[in-house]
Structure 1
Amino acid sequence: MAKTRFKSAARPRTALPRSTGTRRWWIACAAIAVILVVLYLIYQNSQDQQNATAGGSGYRHVAGEPGAGATAPGFTLMSGTGQRISLADFRGRTVLLYFQEGLTCQPCWDQIKDLEQNQAAVTSAGVDAVVSITTDPAGLIGQKIADEKLSTPVLSDPDMRVSQAYTANQYGMMGDMRDGHSFILVGADGVIRWRADYGGAPDYSMYLPTQKMLADLATERQP
């Protein structure tokens, strides 16, 4: 006698009630809205902090130590062109020290180029000379200067003694391993008249137009 096979009826899928699906949709929307509000508040707080430390340029910056009123630490470093240059060489003149990240930071070299292209404005602002300092070897700096066709002295500080003396290595993207983007104006008497560190968190500005930098210099410089 043949066995009779019974085919089990497929169980119908239980659909979620329409009210449950709608409720979940509203919960998801509310969660997204909360996240957006939190992100906006974080962004707004960041903008408020940026504006609080932005000078006439609108670029966020701080003034590290040693700052205005302090005697500038002396130094003698090798330039990319093979000359030994000392801060004492500029006694009697106002010199703008520009600490920068070095070979891996093309905007830093663009900054030097922009300074040279705006030399008349820099001189009119009372700056007699510009000297850049970074931590790369002098030989590599010399090659970069030649490639970029620059005339500004760029000095090598491989052991970071000068960078640390000016705490210029506290404002870069590489932690304290390299300098950031710092301008320090040293007066004819060897006293710092102005300082602006643009390379710090959260913006890490590694370039700003010379005219913007001079705007901060004009409003923040001490006599």
Structure 2
Amino acid sequence: MSNTDRTATSPRVSRRPGRARPPAGTPESEFDPRPTTRHRRVLLAVAAVIAGTILALYLVFQGSQVSKVQTRAPGTGSGYHHVAGQPGAGAAAPEFTLASSDGASVSLSHYRGKTVLLYFQEGLSCQPCWDQIKDLEQNQQALKSAGIDAVLSVTTDPAPLLAQKTTDERISTPVLSDPDLTVSRAYDANAYGMMGDMRDGHSFLLVDPEGTIRWRADYGGEPDYVMFVPTAKMLSDLARERT
């Protein structure tokens, strides 16, 4: 066969550097591994959607963190660093019924008509928390002068162990057991402890006779993790900040 005949019966496939070879029998016009303009636009659109979703989730997360706490100005009030979480002043106090260290079941509604100080604390492993309760009991007259009729403490340990601890510490204040953190989470009191969100921090809430929160102070959060506040100092913050 002459060169002329070979050229006529065997068309050349033009190949450019860096391009993949097309499968046998595939016209070159139907095989182009390079992304088309349409493909690039689709990829850019998908990337933009992913980036926008990530940004939106970040902003929601940041917003939720900001809504949880309102930092107090340093150096004011008692001098003990604290923030006010949510639910805060003006909100209805979430209702609860919990087993108490004295063997009874205690509901917040039982105290309707009285002003109650709720004290969320870390529990058995936190001796300063029990010292806090003792200090509150030793300053009952000051609490009464501040208009507080009763004190309830809430923590996450089992009621029988709390009963033994209150006996050992000679504490008469009811300490309520919230082992599944249902109440702690309702009050977001587990956001301020040294043990992560599995235990409460060191939070006080004042609930008025109608069941409305009038004051809140979370002393247990970063960076100081305050676990004991003298009652007089706590009451000075209460007097300055209550609504």
Q: TM-score, normalised by structure 1?
A: 0.76
Return the alpha-carbon distance in structure 1 between the equivalents of residues 202 and 83 of structure 2.
11
Amino acid in the other structure paired with 2:73: A
- In structure 2, relative to structure 1, the CA distance for the partners of 1:191 and 1:51 (3 Å cut) is closer
Cα distance in 1 between the residues matched to 2:216 and 2:180: 23
Q: Shift of residue 52 of structure 1?
A: 2.3
**Structure 2 residue ranges without an equivalent (≥5):** 1-70
**Aligned partner of residue 197 in structure 2, secondary structure:** coil
Q: Which runs of 5 or more structure 1 residues have no equivalent in the other structure?
A: 1-49
Larger Rg: 2
2:240 — aligned with what?
219
Task: Give how far 1:51 is off.
Answer: 7.7
1:93 to 99, 114, 125: 114
Q: From 153, 161, 178, give the equivalent of 2:174.
A: 153
SS across alignment from 1:141: helix
**1:180-191, aligned counterparts within 5 Å?**
180-191=201-212
Equivalenced residue count is 173
Task: Please give the alpha-carbon distance, in whole angstroms, between the structure 2 residues aligned to 1:188 and 1:93.
Answer: 4
Could you tell me which residue of structure 1 aligns to residue 185 of structure 2? 164
Superposed displacement of residue 55, structure 1: 3.8
Q: 1:58 to 1:155 in 2, by over 3 A?
A: same
Cα deviation 1:200-222 (Å, max 9, x = unaligned)? 00000000100000000000000
Offset at residue 81 of structure 1 (A): 1.4
2:30 match: none
Secondary structure of residue in 2 paired with 1:169: helix
4+ residue runs over 2 A deviation: 50-55
Instruction: Give the alignment's TM-score, normalised by structure 2.
Output: 0.70
Q: Secondary structure at 2:164's aligned position in 1?
A: helix
Rate the CA distance shift 1:67–1:51 in 2: closer, same or farther, 3 A: closer
In the alignment, which residue of structure 2 is the partner of 1:125?
146
Higher relative contact order (CA 8 A, sep 6+): 1
Percent of counterpart pairs with the same letter? 71
Match of residue 109 from structure 1: 130
